[in-house]
Chain A
Amino acid sequence: MLQCELCPKNCLIRPGQSGDCRVRVNMDGVLKTVVYGFPSALHIDPIEKKPLFHFIPGTKILSLATVGCNLHCKNCQNWEISQTNPEDSQAYFLPPQKVVEMTERYFCPSIAYTYTDPIVYYEYTYDIAVLARARGIRNVLVTAGYINPAPWKKLLQYVDAANIDLKGITEKFYREVCSATLKPILDALVAAREHGIILEITNLLIPTLNDDPKDIKDLVLWIRNNLGTDVPLHFSGFHPRYKMRHLPPTSAQTLEIAREIALEQGLKHVYVGNILIRDAQNTLCPKCQKVVVERRGYTIVQNSLKEGVCPDCQTPVYGVWK
């Protein structure tokens, strides 16, 4: 038996068995990752899709994922790869060096470790990130942030930006919907902010489970009090998937209410995703409220920022803009 201490599940793994993530295996007393170099998903996406709105907007990002996840969200939108066993899946053979070469070949300025959760393919993410950084390519994590402090701190050294899901603000939600716990995620968010990477947060609103205005306000207040008002927050619409096909999609009205709550509490950059709501994807100058980046879907219609500052009042806007 051995123990994997990568994530807060701290799985005790018997010989021949995997941890809860399905991809970290006890092979003869040695912990092995069976997905290292074997991504199952590989695409070039607009960076706005991650979603990242405050990090090199309008660029393409090489996006990859292996199978497996350390969470088991009943609403998972990518469950076909996150909740499957490696032996039941298909993957490309792509060692870290090849990923970096491919990123350069397709003229992508950044790589996203995304779709499932880069925490479970930690070593692969880390090794690519080190090589990419050396070649001037930026690294982006899209993660639930369910990781122990030491490996998180080590990985953050090579991360430029992250979108971290804050799926809810109650322990009950994380335990019952995601099979995880809340505290390590809050700690990971604070650590990411303290480390100085560009941080954005996504909160997917699921009808009846985490869309109560009180919960939304609690979540917003936690962000405001622990991360500050600059950090962008994306309220995302739920679509019935996986084990939650019985719930309806999130209404536009719920998303608009959530956005209003966040703006009322002082958050400067609040967006709505997975649904088109007029003006809810634009970035405003936090001081004069001028639209400085206008978006429609994943497309930048207009970006009037000059060196990251508002062209009218010269106020800096949080982010890395080129």
Chain B
Amino acid sequence: MNRRDFFHTLAGLGIFTAGCLLCLLKSAGVPVFTQAKPHPQYPGTIKSLGDITEDTEMIG
């Protein structure tokens, strides 16, 4: 390995390590959730419920 390759490798490793550290710092202390709590209010509009019929537009 010549001197230029050595410094390129070193710079690459440095950037990689900095990236790892940043990522670790970013995720440290971030609370993790699988379950979400219900929010009592719908952000959109509530519509009234009539008779339920077969769907003719949607798939599945």
Q: Please name the residue on chain A nearest to B59 by beta carbon.
A: A77
Contact with A along B17-45 (1 / 0, CB 8 A): 00000000011001111111111011111
Given the complex of chains A and B, what is the CA–CA distance between A23 and B55 in angstroms? 23
Q: Which residue of B lies closest to A147 (CB)?
A: B34
Query: Within 8 Å CB of B41, what residues of A?
Result: 34
Are B58's CB and A41's CB within 8 A? yes
Q: Cβ of A102 and Cβ of B52 under 8 Å apart? A: yes
- In the assembled complex, B1 has its CB within 8 A of some CB on chain A: no
Q: Does A123 contact B (CB under 8 A)?
A: yes
Assuming the contacts A2-B30, A43-B52, asked whether A91 and B58 have C-beta atoms less than 8 A apart, the reply is no
The bracket for how many chain B residues form the interface is 20 to 34
A213 CA to B39 CA in the complex, in Å?
Answer: 47
Q: Which one of A3-11, A215-223, A278-286 is at the interface?
A: A3-11
A302 contact set on B, CB distance < 8 A: none
CB of A313 within 8 A of chain B? no
A148 and B33 CA atoms in complex are apart in Å by 12
Q: Is B60 within 8 A of A78, CB to CB?
A: yes
| Closest chain B CB from A139 CB (angstroms) | 16
Q: In the assembly, what is the distance between CA of A115 and CA of B56, in Å?
A: 12
Are the CB atoms of A36 and B39 closer together than 8 Å? yes
> Which B-chain residue is minimally distant from A124 (CB atoms)?
B38
Residue of B nearest to A105 (CB): B52
8 A Cβ contacts from A102-147 to B: 102, 106, 114-115, 122-124, 142
Question: B2 at the A/B interface (Cβ < 8 Å)?
Answer: no
Please count the residue pairs between chain A and chain B whose beta carbons lie under 8 angstroms apart in the complex: 127
Q: How far is the CA of A45 from the CA of B38 in the complex (A)?
A: 27
Q: Is the CB of B38 within 8 A of A90?
A: no
**Which one, A24-32, A167-175, A225-233, is touching chain B?**
A24-32
Residues of B within 8 A of A42 (CB): 49, 52
Query: Shortest Cβ distance from A153 into chain B, in angstroms?
Result: 11
B42 contacts A91, CB within 8 Å?
yes
Inside 8 A of A12's CB, which chain B residues have their CB? 26-27, 30
Task: Report whether B42 and A31 are in contact in the complex, using a CB–CB cutoff of 8 Å.
Answer: no
CB pair A142–B32 under 8 Å, yes or no, is no
B33-A91 in contact (CB<8A): no
**In chain B, what residue has the closest Cβ to A23?**
B36
Contact A3 B30 (CB under 8 A): yes
Q: Which residues of B contact A (CB under 8 A)?
A: 26-27, 30-39, 41-49, 52-55, 58-60
Residues of A within 8 A of B (CB): 1-6, 12, 24-25, 27, 29-38, 41-46, 49-50, 62-63, 67, 77-78, 81, 85-94, 102, 106, 114-115, 122-124, 142, 148, 150-151, 163, 274
**Interchain residue pairs A-B with the least CB separation, the first 7:** A36-B38, A43-B55, A31-B33, A33-B36, A87-B43, A77-B59, A32-B39
A-B contact pairs, 20 of them (CB 8 A): A2-B31, A3-B33, A4-B34, A6-B36, A27-B39, A31-B36, A32-B39, A43-B53, A44-B53, A45-B55, A77-B58, A77-B60, A85-B43, A86-B42, A86-B43, A87-B44, A91-B47, A115-B55, A123-B36, A148-B34
Known: A88-B44, A163-B60. 9 other contacts (CB 8 A): A32-B37, A32-B38, A33-B37, A38-B42, A38-B44, A67-B44, A87-B44, A92-B49, A274-B59
